[in-house]
Amino acid sequence: MGQPPRVLYIDDDEGLCHLAARNLKRRGFDVATAQSGPEGERRLLGEAFDLVAIDHYMPGVDGLQTLKRLSEVLPVLPPVVYVTGSEESRIAVAALQAGATEYVVKSIGDEFFDLLAQTFHQALDRAALKREAAAAQAALAQTNQRLETLLKEVNHRIANSLQMVSAFVIMQGAALTDETAKAALKQTQQRILAIAQVHRKLYTSNDVEVVDMADYLSALMADLQDTWSIPSAPRRLSLQAEDLKLKTDRAVAVGVIVNELVSNACKYAYAPGSAGDVRVLFGASGEGFRLTVEDDGPGFAPDTLPRGTGLGRKLVAAMAATLRCEIDYASGPTGFRVGLQASF
C-alpha cells in the first residue's frame, strides 16, 4: 500500500486539533496540525501536504484571510477543505470563491469525522482527476506539436522534391530543338511549380491544414509573370484576392486552374509582340468563393476555345470537378472572362 494522504489541519482550538488528528488517523490520514493561519503558512512553505483543512473562526487571521494568503504565497495550493461551525451560505460561497475545494460544517461526534474523511477523499479524488486531465491535455498538445512539425517537414520535402522535378523538366527542355515540345515542357514545369507553391506555403505557415489564398496566389502570379512576360510581349498580371483560407486539396485545385487560365490568356489573348493585361479576382461569394480570370483581348467564340493540345482545358475541368463546380466562359468584344463559383 502507498503512504496515507498527508493533511494539515489548521484550527486555533488545540483540543480539536488533537481530536481531529486522532480520529482522522483511524480513517487513513496522516494529520499534522497548526493553531493559526501564519503557523499553517510556515508549515506549508516548508513541508509537503496532500490536503489542507482550514477552520473559519480563528482570532487575528481568520480562515478566509488564511486561504487568501496561502493562494498568494504557495506555487501550487493543495486541495482545501473549509471547516466552520456556521451554516451561513455566504461563508461557504466566500470560501469556494477564495479557492476552497470543499466545504464542511462542524458537528459533534464521529459523524463529523466520518463526513470530514469522506470530504477529504472527494477533494483528493477531484484533485487527482484535475491533474490527470492536465497531464492528458499536455500530452495531447505535445503530440499535436510533434505531428505539426512532422507535417511541416513533409511539406518542406515535397516542395523541394517538386522543385527538383521542375529543374529536371527545364534541363530536358533545354536539350530539345522542337519548339512544340519545349513549349509543352515549359507548361509542365509551370504546373509543377503551382503545386509546389502550396507545399511551400504550408511549410512556412503556422497552420499546416489550410492555405492562405491571397499569399499563395500572389506568389503564383509572380511566377507566372516571370514565365510569360518578356520585353517583346509584356504581360501585366494583377491580382485582387481577399484574405481567405482553403484546405490543401482545394487550394491545389484553385492554383492549377489559375495557372492554366492565366497561361492561356498570356499566350492567346493578345497578338504576338503586343502588350496585354491579365487579371485574377478571388474572394468570398455566398457560402463559398468565386474565382475570375479575365483579359482585354478580342475574345473568341465558345466553339473555338480549345487551343494547342487541349490539355490545359482538360486540367481545368478536372480541377473544377474536385471543387464540385462548373466553369463559365464569357467572351465579348473587349475581352474574355472565365469564372467559377465553389463552396468552402
Write the pLDDT tens digit of every residue in 2-39.
Answer: 789 999 999 999 988 999 899 999 999 999 999 999 99
Indicate which CATH number applies to the domain containing 100. 3.40.50.2300
Q: What is the pLDDT of residues 164-179, one digit of tens each?
A: 887 888 788 888 888 8
Indicate which CATH number applies to the domain containing 281. 3.30.565.10
Q: Which helix (H) or strand (E) holds 227?
A: helix 213-228
pLDDT category at 301 given cuts 50, 70, 90 is: low
Look at residue 168 and tell me if it is in a domain. Answer: no
Domain that holds residue 273: 231-344
Number of domains within the chain: 2
Residues with Cβ within 8 Å of residue 293, at least 6 apart in sequence: 258, 261, 262, 265, 278, 279, 280, 281, 337, 338, 339
DSSP β-bridge partners for residue 285? 288
What pLDDT is recorded for position 307? 53
Q: Which of 78, 106, 134 is the last residue of a domain?
A: 106
What pLDDT is recorded for position 158? 79
Dig out the grid coordinates for 93 from the structure: 460561497
Look at residue 18 and tell me if it is in a domain. Answer: yes
Q: Which of 106, 123, 147 is the last residue of a domain?
A: 106
Residue 144 sits at φ, ψ, to 5 deg, of -60, -40
Look at residue 149 and tell me if it is in a domain. Answer: no
Q: What is the pLDDT of residues 249-288, one digit of tens each?
A: 899 899 999 999 999 899 889 988 899 999 999 999 989 9
In the block, which residue shows the cell 477552520? 55
Look at residue 224 and tell me if it is in a domain. Answer: no
What pLDDT is recorded for position 309? 57
